[in-house]
Structure 1
């Protein structure tokens, strides 16, 4: 059999004028494709769980370290920030040096940081280690996507599509696991549980994931990444510092931090306009289409995503609900989202983008408003569970539409747009958590203060609705 005939047999008769594909070069891995998918899925699952698992442990961490909630909240926000920074860099590096190598390095970093988090002795150390953990967790997605893309041939779209089901499942399982560890043992278990799973993951990946290929790519825009990181980090630090009761608005530390953030924002925009291959293309930051969607994603991230990390804290602070039960409230939200998301995706071609976004925002706002009020006729737990499920239904309606709304503006830059969307949403969530924990730390009644914040989030989503009418609405054209 000739080489061409062999290649055709391997990939279902498809050949490429540019030469063999990664799958052609590695025919022996095809029987192991399901195992490869399972291995990378374990990594993504661990990363997604760690986005929510800490939420139920915040009161326990705060108590053990005698830390204010505004500083212990950094264990959530720094993880989101680390992932925002790590994802684009890991994508570039995995193209240059190989997906398997980056995947294994990410696993080692994630597991080592998880082990260290489990033995942290103060809140400052834990926050730094969470940042390191986020670098490993953030690098999983681009390297895993590349591995699947390289080795699944014509089935890569289906395999990559299945990734979208992993993160909602992580959102369901994470809070429950976190609550269980806090109730039965210690918050340290939420980090230490990653270690044995991670060791098995590294062994399996070393044995069964092939080396793959490397590609020449444009130079990584490290300056752009660092400027964006400085912008978010300095703004977040200033807001958190304000959370101490003795700190006033004219504090030099607070004003200095926000001044650094403004300068970093100006330098970042200028850099994006002039650099040949910027971290974020400048044309994706402005205009009626992209500018509007970026603002919507920022507000959506603050109101819909940011509040999720705060629900268990609210349940424990205001109603005295146990950590385990508080964690299951996020499960109710995830279930509500999963129940309607598939239907919303199927209906998009008929509904367009605007209608599901508007209806979804209204439903999420309704759930937030319900959560902020005093329970009527139900136990506090059932009241919060119903409210959380309603917000999940609203997110299931609006998320698919908002995910796709800006894609048709530049179909040739889908990857960049997806990264930009995630960055604005995560940035909104980071700001929401930072501001909320700061207000809660200065409040005499944290539960009531958080209730008012949830009501403000609901108002924020309602105020975002007029922006939706500026989004180009395409029906039946994609």
Structure 2
């Protein structure tokens, strides 16, 4: 690879890893952060919610502005914002200041992957784009998976949550300096005026939608759907985005360039690719629950469960790189089809086969390779095929936004499977005792079942408590009932992931058909002209 391509790719890969790591790294320190600032877990959750909202806002803005002013300028701005935000977070003395700093950090981190991907798609030769995008996708996926483990490691070593964010500052400084020197400067890609009003309307619509998703409750889904905090903001977001579409449509051919080309939205293959991005986001969200499965169902200790996550992380990195290579050789549709198939098989093994750690390793490697192949290369190549040079950034940003929406919705649904399964703990215990012919007083049965039936949030403590029951017959029945309950919850989660994997496979097939049809129509149109 030529030097002028190698160095930008290395810098982009480091930037993508740094930004993607941050949201995962904080999950391991939420309890420490809440205690440090003296806030409740409900308020502490805003640490992640605001960061997610900031990412969602920054993605389309960074994508469009990089199309207008060039990727180097926007990359440097994003890295600077992320570094400044990280420093402010680390220096926070109040929770309010901490949240404001997190938003600044998110506004910087959200656009790095988008800018890096659109740079590759604009500057790299077509035969190398897949491999480069695979590297970026691999960095993004591996960082998201390993984030909690790395965060816990830093917290154990330093004993101070501030270092989770201070570590970003020197990296951001080095990236900024190296970026000035090694990333090729681009000319402004468009001379038309920026549609700032369109950016504002899009931002408001995205914020409304993402905030509505944050109010979903997986345990009481129907009740949360009827909450004004959900349907009010959801309807507002939909109305605003419909208004945005018509405002953008009026700008086609004018002196102001639309934020998103409505002609692009009218292409069937583009819309199907956005669905693939959404499904891949849901699959990535399901992967986040796998460490809990290792600890709670397979019985691996809390400290060791993170290490067993390593094969999946490595497999996802290999899958992302291999997926990029396959895109260059076989094309994005073929790659997505293989990815969906591998992911579906891997997730299918969890509820049907995995009972031991060696079985888990096999299943998780298949899942890792499968969803890793989806990250970066195939979706980004597909989504920018017909975007044109002036719309590559916003095209990648749009697909990334759909992936983020899935990652906001899916965890709530998946957590609901786990929580609802624990409402059956009492009946599972009763059935187990009946099968063994063991009589237990009703008040004792209620005490056993109430330990985790409400939420199942502290399964380790529940397991430890049940293990202290002196009667071995009752103890074994209760532990088996708990194991069965946990398995039922995770089965629903993994079957959902199988469905999303199959939907990815189906959507890839339909997208391929649409691409072929659109190419044929273009050839026919050109021949008639």
After TM superposition, the score normalised by the length of structure 1 is 0.72
2:510 to 453, 458, 470: 470
Partner Cα separation in structure 1 for residue 55 and residue 142 of structure 2: 18
Q: Does 1:254 align with 2:230?
A: yes
User: Displacement of 1:282 after TM fit?
Assistant: 1.6
Quote the residue 2:401 is aligned against: 423
Q: Work out which of the two has the higher radius of gyration on C-alpha atoms and give 1 or 2.
A: 2
Question: In 2, Cα distance between the equivalents of 1:112 and 1:418?
Answer: 25
1:180 to 1:158, Cα distance in 2 relative to 1, 3 A = same
The answer for the alignment partner of 2:25 in structure 1 is: 53
Q: Distance in 1 between matches of 2:175 and 2:94?
A: 29
| Cα distance change on mapping 1:398 and 1:359 into 2, 3 Å | same
Distance in 2 between the 1:58 and 1:48 partners?
17
Task: Give me the whole-angstrom Cα distance separating, in 2, the residues matched to 1:107 and 1:235.
Answer: 26
Report the number of matched residues.
437
**Which consecutive unaligned segments of at least 5 residues does structure 2 have?**
421-453, 460-485, 520-529
How far is the alpha carbon of 1:135 from its aligned partner? Answer: 1.7
Contact 2:280 2:374 in 1 (8 A): no
Matches within 5 A, 1:437-476: 444-446=455-457, 448=486, 449=489, 452-472=492-512
Name the counterpart of 2:135: 165
How many angstroms does 1:115 deviate by?
Answer: 2.2
Q: Which runs of 5+ in 1 are unaligned?
A: 1-29
Secondary structure of the residue aligned to 1:267 is helix
**Partner residue in 1 for 2:108:** 136
Change (3 A) 1:440 1:112: farther
Distance, in Å, in 2 between the alignment partners of 1:312 and 1:125 is 32
For the Cα contact (< 8 Å) 1:74–1:434, is it kept in 2? no
What secondary structure does 1:470 align onto? helix
Distance 1:241 1:75 in 2: 13
| Aligned counterpart, 2:277 | 297
| Structure 2 counterpart of 1:84 | 59
Contact in 2 for aligned 1:182/1:323 (Cα 8 Å): no
What SS does structure 1 have at the residue aligned with 2:110? Answer: helix
Measure the CA separation in 1 of the matches of 2:18 and 2:277: 25
Residues 276-333 of structure 1 deviation map (CA, whole Å, 9 limit, x = unaligned) = 332221222245322222222222222x223344444665676786776555555433
For 1:400-415, what aligned pairs fall within 5 Å after superposition? 400-408=377-385, 414-415=392-393
Residue 361 (structure 2) pairs with residue 391 (structure 1): no
Task: Indicate whether 1:367 and 2:337 are aligned.
Answer: no
Distance 1:210 1:232, change over 3 A: closer
**Change in CA separation of 1:62 and 1:434 when aligned onto 2, cut-off 3 Å:** farther
Quick check: 389-398 or 364-373, which moved more?
364-373
**How far does residue 234 in structure 1 lie from its aligned partner after superposition?**
1.9
- For residue 195 of structure 1, report the CA deviation from its aligned partner: 2.0
Distance 1:38 1:391, change over 3 A: closer
Structure 2 CA distance, aligned partners of 1:227 and 1:280?
12
**Which deviates more from structure 2 when the two are superposed, residues 116-125 or residues 219-228?**
116-125
Question: Kindly tell me: are residues 189 and 434 of structure 1, through their superposed partners in 2, closer, same or farther at Cα, counting changes over 3 Å?
Answer: farther
Partner of 1:177: 150
After alignment, is 71-80 or 289-298 more displaced?
71-80
In the aligned structure 2, how far is the partner of 1:149 from the partner of 1:244? 38
Mark the CA change 1:50 to 1:373 in structure 2 (over 3 Å): closer, same or farther: farther
Name the CA shift for 1:465/1:147 in 2 (closer, same or farther; >3 Å). closer
Q: Match for residue 74 of structure 1? A: 49
2:511 and 2:327 map into 1 onto residues whose CA distance is 15
Distance 1:163 1:335, change over 3 A: same
1: distance between equivalents of 2:273 and 2:263?
A: 13
Any idea what SS the aligned residue of 2:142 has? helix
For residues 63 and 217 of structure 2, the distance between their equivalents in structure 1, rounded to whole angstroms, comes to 32
Match of 1:240 among 206, 214, 218: 214
For structure 1, which segment, 328-337 or 129-138, has the greater mean C-alpha deviation from structure 2 after superposition?
328-337
Q: Is the 8 A contact 1:55 1:313 kept in 2?
A: no
Question: How large is the RMSD of aligned CA atoms in angstroms?
Answer: 4.5
Pick which of 286-295 and 166-175 moved more: 166-175
1:36, CA displacement in angstroms?
6.7
Match of 2:89 among 95, 107, 117: 117
Q: Which moved more, 1:232-241 or 1:260-269?
A: 232-241
SS of corresponding position for 2:259? coil
Cα gap change, 1:284 to 1:331, in 2 (>3 Å)? farther
Measured in 1, the distance between the counterparts of 2:9 and 2:323 equals 27
Normalising by structure 2, report the TM-score: 0.66
CA shift in 2, pair 1:144/1:262, >3 Å: closer
Structure-2 separation of matches of 1:391 and 1:110: 31
| Separation (CA, whole Å) in 2 of partners of 1:369 and 1:71 | 34
Show the counterpart of 2:261.
281
